[in-house]
């Protein structure tokens, strides 16, 4: 008997859909389909593979509104954000459609013959993704994996499987051969785990928590699977006294509260030079109070609910009676996993709120004394994913950017992700890079071939 997966809408707490729940058997069947499809897919001429990826991007665009509404309802994210994400899915597929014809090798001078290198696909790749940005994070893996000639098994998070399931059908509609893209919607501890242990899976590309990532790396070691991990973060948004304080304060709230704080790039530690702390907090308060929290399908909404009751409980544990709550925004009452945007100040970098990834709309403001102090605090974390530096001093901006141990940094901006630039973490924020040209390295093996041209 097939088990059912009940999918809940976080803004209403009602069931949004009920779909078959995949288990070990379905995971194995998906791997078998991907394995069977692999020789054919890698043999597709590079130009034809590129054309199919472009067609897939077109189809995603055609279904863009349907996918955006589904994502907004299932993940509880503002519809405007969901539309942007679907746009990025199409852009990412199109960007990697440029790759099949550009996977270049080298010729290397050697004695007695010629040495050549080739970039070969890996085979079947398992993609395991979280619930915060379900389809767009999947696309960062699908794009390079498919472009390089791999076939894939995508496991969405149990809480948000709906856009992945639609995507599987859209891939067929776009003309990708049967078995190239396979989706298994089932629990991580069952389906995800099976993929990490399966001998026919060559690589796992994972995005999720550092804790689950550790387990995946350990499981993958048994069969020497390739692994890329995009994990948690506790990023610093460093605001120097010479910055454009109005802009920095206006931008800081959504750099934490975007996606209701459920963002691995959240700048959840706002480091402010002590001499401007009061001025900054005044401007920040105005910005936080202006955030529109509500119905994800309302065009003007900036922040929706959290993903689940369990997540809300976890977030609330950081805002107990002793928490130094300095600013509290608003949130709707009634059904829905709502949590008001909250700013704690002052926070010491050793406090729990500054050390743990809250993954909810809670920001910590941490005062600092000077540049060295700012760099020290920014780096005093197990994570190193993202971050920002606000200053009008260009030399300082570059000095601090070089000193902060983090994979992605912005100066006078809080943006993190672009299709064409590498994204990933230092330290316990992960292994490997997604997006940009760098991602392709993680979906290919380098092969070296020596051809003797001189008589022995």
Tokens of 36: 């069977």
The rounded Cα 338 to chain-centroid distance in angstroms is 22
Of 26 and 391, CB closest to ligand NAP: 26
Q: Coil, helix or strand for 353?
A: helix
Of 128 and 255, CB closest to ligand NAP: 128
The rounded Cα 187 to chain-centroid distance in angstroms is 19
Question: Does residue 207 belong to the site contacting ligand NAP (CB under 6 A)?
Answer: yes
Question: Does residue 359 belong to the site contacting ligand NAP (CB under 6 A)?
Answer: yes
Q: Coil, helix or strand for 407?
A: coil
Rule CB under 6 A: choose which of 264, 277, 345, 347 binds ligand NAP: 264
Where do the DSSP E strands lie in 36-133?
Answer: 107-110, 113-121, 124-128
Question: Does residue 189 belong to the site contacting ligand NAP (CB under 6 A)?
Answer: yes
Q: Coil, helix or strand for 45?
A: coil
Rule CB under 6 A: choose which of 82, 165, 216, 362 binds ligand NAP: 216
Report the C-alpha gap between 191 and 177 in whole angstroms. 23
Of 340 and 385, CB closest to ligand NAP: 385
264 is catalytic: yes
Q: How far is the CB of 50 from ligand NAP (least distance, A)?
A: 26
Question: Does residue 315 belong to the site contacting ligand NAP (CB under 6 A)?
Answer: no
Number of residues counted as binding ligand NAP (CB under 6 A) = 31
230 is catalytic: yes
CA distances to 236, 291, 310, 312, 397 from 357, in Å? 12, 22, 15, 14, 25
Question: Cα-atom radius of gyration of the chain, to the nearest Å?
Answer: 23
Q: Are 219 and 197 in contact (CB under 8 A)?
A: yes
Q: What's the angle, vertex CA 406, arms to CA 160 and CA 262, rounded to 5? A: 25
Q: Which of 9, 71, 168, 264 is catalytic?
A: 264
Q: How far is the CB of 263 from ligand NAP (least distance, A)?
A: 7
CA distances to 94, 147, 160, 294, 362 from 336, in Å? 36, 40, 16, 9, 18
Of 137 and 272, CB closest to ligand NAP: 137
Rule CB under 6 A: choose which of 188, 305, 336, 384 binds ligand NAP: 188
Q: How far is the CB of 382 from ligand NAP (least distance, A)?
A: 12
Question: Does residue 179 belong to the site contacting ligand NAP (CB under 6 A)?
Answer: no
CA distances to 80, 164, 255, 295 from 301, in Å? 8, 24, 16, 7
Binding letters toward ligand NAP, positions 373-412, x by CB under 6 A = ------------x---------------------------
Tokens 């990532």 belong to residue? 213
Tokens of 404: 């902060």
Q: How far is the CB of 152 from ligand NAP (least distance, A)?
A: 14
Rule CB under 6 A: choose which of 187, 324, 346, 422 binds ligand NAP: 187
Catalytic residues: 230, 264
Which positions touch ligand NAP (CB under 6 A)?
128-132, 137, 155, 157-158, 187-189, 192-193, 196, 207-209, 212, 215-216, 230-233, 264, 357, 359, 385, 425, 430
């Amino acid at each position: 008997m097939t088990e059912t997966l009940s999918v809940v809408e976080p803004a209403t707490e009602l069931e949004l859909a009920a779909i078959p729940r995949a288990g070990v058997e379905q995971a194995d069947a998906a791997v078998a389909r991907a394995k069977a499809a692999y020789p054919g897919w890698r043999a597709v001429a590079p130009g034809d593979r590129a054309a199919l990826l472009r067609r897939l991007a077109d189809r995603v665009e055609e279904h863009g509104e349907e996918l955006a509404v589904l994502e907004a309802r299932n993940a509880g994210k503002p519809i405007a954000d969901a539309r942007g994400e679907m746009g990025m899915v199409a852009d990412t597929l199109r960007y990697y459609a440029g790759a099949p014809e550009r996977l270049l090798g080298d010729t290397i001078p050697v004695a007695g013959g010629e040495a050549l290198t080739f970039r070969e696909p890996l085979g079947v790749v398992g993609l395991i993704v979280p619930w915060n940005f379900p389809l767009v994070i999947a696309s960062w893996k699908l794009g390079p994996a498919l472009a390089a000639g791999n076939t894939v098994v995508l496991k969405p998070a149990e809480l948000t499987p709906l856009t992945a399931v639609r995507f599987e059908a859209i891939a067929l509609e776009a003309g990708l051969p049967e078995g190239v893209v396979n989706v298994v919607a089932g629990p991580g501890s069952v389906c995800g785990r099976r993929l990490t242990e399966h001998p026919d899976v060559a690589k796992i590309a994972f995005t999720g928590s550092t804790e689950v990532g550790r387990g995946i790396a350990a499981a993958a070691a048994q069969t020497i699977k390739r692994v890329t991990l995009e994990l948690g973060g506790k990023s610093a948004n460093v605001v120097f006294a010479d910055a454009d304080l109005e802009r920095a304060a206006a931008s800081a709230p959504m750099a934490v509260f975007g996606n209701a704080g459920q963002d691995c790039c959240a700048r959840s530690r706002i480091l402010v030079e002590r001499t401007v702390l009061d001025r900054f907090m005044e401007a920040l308060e105005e910005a936080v109070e202006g955030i529109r929290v509500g119905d994800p399908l309302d065009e003007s909404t900036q922040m929706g609910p959290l993903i689940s009751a369990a997540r809300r409980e976890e977030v609330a544990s950081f805002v107990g009676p002793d928490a130094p709550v300095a600013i509290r925004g608003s949130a709707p009452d009634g059904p829905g996993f709502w949590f008001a945007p909250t700013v704690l100040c002052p926070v010491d970098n050793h406090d729990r709120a500054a050390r743990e990834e809250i993954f909810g709309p809670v920001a910590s403001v941490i005062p600092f004394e000077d540049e060295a102090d700012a760099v020290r605090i920014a780096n005093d974390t197990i994570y190193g994913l993202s971050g920002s530096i606000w200053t009008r001093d260009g030399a300082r901006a570059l000095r601090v950017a070089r000193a902060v141990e983090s994979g992605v940094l912005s100066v006078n901006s809080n943006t993190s992700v672009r299709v064409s630039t590498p994204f990933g973490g230092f330290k316990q924020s992960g292994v490997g890079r997604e997006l940009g040209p760098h991602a392709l390295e993680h979906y290919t093996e380098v092969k070296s071939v020596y051809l003797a041209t001189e008589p022995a």
